[in-house]
Amino acid sequence: MTSELINKRVPVLDKGWIELTDMLPHPNTGISGDLAIVNAARVSFLGESKGEEADKKLLFYLLRNAHTSPFEMVEFKFRVHAPLVTWWQWVRHRTWNFNAQSGRYSPFDESAFYVPGVWRLQAKDNKQASEGELDPETNQALMQKLLNHYEQGYALYQEALQAGVAKEMARFFLPGFSVYYTWVAKVDAHNLMHFLRLRMAADAQYEIRVYAQAIYDNFFAPALPWTAEAFEKYILKSRQD
């Protein structure tokens, strides 16, 4: 099952995507991620698998009691195409390793802008959140203005490039928050669970929440089914309670 996840690309938002490019343990080893966690825990006693029932019981014990270091033995490496507004929140998780596309070297194309499906309203009781949606007529009018803004900014960007301006300066004309970038991002399972706990939550901004959910549904849970089950039972449920 894990081998089928490598290079699988999942669409997110209007133009975004995420794919798993590699993981540790690699599927070629024949060792599952869950078993790698169990084996790492048992290395203290120079032991390995004791059968599925005992192995799963140990993994649940580890997560329930916050013995997290064995979960750091499993790693995920992703390629992600996301708007900058998403990345500004993602990079706050400093336990991840990142390397990003550079607008100094690679020119942007005219479709490299995020267009939201709707305009969300400012939440009344949370200064950093949104709730509800703008009425359809105003939503459509603002959406057209956003598209016009993108078109004008990109036209100026192209004009600057054609005039010989360096790419690193021509990009000043591009609308900053919405430009899509491609990144390579790597993280271990322990720190990925921390990311998922925060970014799948209902109060996380939609533009990062959908990426977190895509990671969980398409990569984390399929690759680590025991860990995902324990994660839901001991971490997500405790947050809900």
Residue 65 reports pLDDT greater than 80: yes
pLDDT in tens, 203-230: 999 999 999 999 999 999 999 999 999 9
Q: 157 with 113: CB under 8 angstroms? A: no
Burial 12-31 (b: 16+ CB within 10 A, else e): bbeebbbbbeebebebeeeb
Distance of CA 96 to the CA centre of its chain: 11
Mean pLDDT, to the nearest integer, of 86-91? 95
Give residue for tokens 């039972």.
Answer: 233
Provide the whole-model pTM. 0.91
Rounded Cα distance between 241 and 234, Å, is 11
Q: 181 with 101: CB under 8 angstroms? A: yes
The single residue of 79, 199, 209, 239 carrying the catalytic annotation is 199
Residue 104 reports pLDDT greater than 50: yes
Rounded Cα distance between 82 and 36, Å, is 31
Our answer to whether residue 199 is catalytic in this structure is yes
Q: Say whether 97 sits in a helix, a strand or coil.
A: strand
